[in-house]
Structure 1
Amino acid sequence: MKLNFFTIIFSVILFSFCTAKEKNKNIIQKEQSAIDRDSIIVFAKKYLGTPYLYASSNPQKGFDCSGFVSYVFGNFGMTLPRSSSGYKNLGTALKPEDFKVGDILVFYGYKDKTVIGHLGIICEADGMQSKFIHASSGKAQQVTITSLATEHYTNRFYKCIDVISK
């Protein structure tokens, strides 16, 4: 009788220890995945070719630029502004040498240089030569990858912000 009682107690303690260890492992993995910059880009690239659709954050229908950015980061548990104008005062501007994969590029509108009009996510970091993934309303009319070094975007560049690091 005593042997069975101690066997049961030992089994319960061992099971509890293993379960707690597995939960901690899952929490750590979740935290790491939430801030894994490469995973953000891998996820974003799944939507290459998705049509541009104004005011949409629906992958089945299409994205506008802010809809795409908020959808991608939302997949990693981050809530970001749904409108590009919400990025004007968000975060601290980074120096080009500090740009990283997963940072957000913020651009003025192509007609009005006082209004924020476009966003993208850096997918290849190289300062002002970086490449970014975005929902383009221009010639591409879809989620595409573009070089920041193109005159169209260099002239409209407002800032780059890091929304991942805390």
Structure 2
Amino acid sequence: MKSPIYILFAAAILFSSFTIKKEEKIRINQVEKIQTAIDRDSIITYSKQYLGTPYLYAGNNPNKGFDCSGFVNYVFKHFDVSVPRSSSGYKSLGITKKAEDFKIGDVLVFYGYRNKTIVGHVGIICEANGMKSKFIHASSGKAGSVTISNLDSDHYSKRFYKCINVLP
């Protein structure tokens, strides 16, 4: 039979190793949070792999197609950023940025093509240059796919509503 001192000693070693493992796990989680900071360039690199994906009304699947908000939602979901699934959900979202403060990864919000009071289109800035920025989006127009367009084109500049940052 083992002595009570031996049992206490073994229990102390077992308990201390459990505590050490718990502390290591906490440190690992803290490191993971630091490593998951979102790099704006990564958003654009990720989104560009879908260039040419067909436009599909209400689509949010790269194998079938995207609509504008489905594309933006899909891209940001990859980075664990929650954004509205419908373009109209962007109307009251975020704080409007000044053109000189636009950054890649910001979301451009546009009024609808026919109705200039309802939000109807969104895209992600891929080249920031104020009102001459370029953005990637799922277009239902001539391109009919995920494409890159110029914000200063007549089609988009007349419909521009705001630019917002959706990143934490």
TM-score normalized with structure 2 length: 0.84
Out of 16, 30, 33, the position equivalent to 1:27 is 33
1:91 Cα offset (Å): 1.0
> Counterpart in 1 of 2:57?
54
Give matches, 1:34-113, under 5 Å. 36-113=39-116
State the secondary structure of the residue aligned to 1:66: helix
1:23 Cα offset (Å): 3.4
Look up the equivalent residue of 1:24 and give its one-letter code: Q
Runs of 4+ with deviation above 4 angstroms: 5-20
Task: Work out whether 1:116 is the aligned partner of 2:119.
Answer: yes
1:12-56, Cα deviation, whole Å (9 max, x unpaired): 7876665554432222102x13xx211111111111111000001
> Counterpart in 2 of 1:128?
131
CA RMSD of superposed structures (Å): 2.1
> Counterpart in 2 of 1:162?
165
State the secondary structure of the residue aligned to 2:110: strand
Separation in structure 2 between the aligned mates of residue 79 and residue 19 of structure 1, nearest angstrom: 27
Separation in structure 1 between the aligned mates of residue 21 and residue 147 of structure 2, nearest angstrom: 49
Give structure 1 stretches of 5+ with no counterpart: none
The change in CA–CA distance for 1:115 and 1:12 in structure 2 (over 3 A counts) is: closer
Task: Work out whether 1:143 is the aligned partner of 2:149.
Answer: no
Separation in structure 2 between the aligned mates of residue 157 and residue 45 of structure 1, nearest angstrom: 22
Separation in structure 2 between the aligned mates of residue 89 and residue 20 of structure 1, nearest angstrom: 38
State the secondary structure of the residue aligned to 2:148: strand
Q: Select the structure of larger CA radius of gyration.
A: 2
State the secondary structure of the residue aligned to 1:50: coil
State the secondary structure of the residue aligned to 2:31: helix
Separation in structure 2 between the aligned mates of residue 140 and residue 19 of structure 1, nearest angstrom: 49
Give the percent of matched residue pairs that are identical in Structure 1 and Structure 2: 58
1:85 Cα offset (Å): 0.8
1:116 Cα offset (Å): 1.0
Look up the equivalent residue of 2:129 and give its one-letter code: D
TM-score normalized with structure 1 length: 0.85
